[in-house]
Amino acid sequence: MSGALRIAPATTGDLPALLALYAQLHPGDPPLDPAAAEDRLAGLAALAGSGVLIGWLGEVVVATCTLVVIPNLTRGGAPYGLIENMVTDAGHHCRGFGARMLRDAQRRAWAAGCYKVMLMTGSTRPGTLAFYEAAGFTRSKTGFDCRRPPP
């Protein structure tokens, strides 16, 4: 395996490896139907500046994150970016791959004209929080979310 991380937008051919990596992020989630996964990936790619990014180490997927560029009616119309589903393969932690993914997502957001990039984490682990801070993110706002109730 090469030591250089190659980052590229995900394609449908990448879905099996990508979904296996997501299983590490949320082990209790039910598996996503392959046709539905293709549909979701295409929908993300159709949003200007948005998509699922994959980090490859040789032929192995070791990290991923999703960048969504959201149109905006404030800030002079400058969009903002949202990073979600940041995950590095458990066997490749602490090697800088996650930080590279975040820098690449930020670079893409700036290229799309975003005035800011946001992310949220549900983790309270000091190491996770320090990771995001070292990647240039600050704890500057209070985040809230609301989950859909079960049917």
- Structure confidence at residue 141 (pLDDT): 85
Q: What is the pLDDT of residues 72-112, one digit of tens each?
A: 999 999 999 999 999 999 999 989 999 999 999 999 999 99
- Structure confidence at residue 31 (pLDDT): 87
- Structure confidence at residue 140 (pLDDT): 87
- Structure confidence at residue 72 (pLDDT): 96
CA distances from 9 to 54, 66, 84 (A): 6, 9, 14
Q: Are 62 and 74 in contact (CB under 8 A)?
A: no
Q: What is the pLDDT of residues 125-134, one digit of tens each?
A: 888 889 899 9
Q: Is the pLDDT of residue 122 over 90?
A: no
Quote the CA–CA distance of 87 and 101 in Å, as a whole number: 9
Q: Is the pLDDT of residue 1 over 60?
A: no
The mean of the pLDDT values for the chain is: 92
Stated pTM of the model: 0.90
How many CB atoms lie under 10 A from the CB of residue 28?
Answer: 5
Q: Are 100 and 86 in contact (CB under 8 A)?
A: no
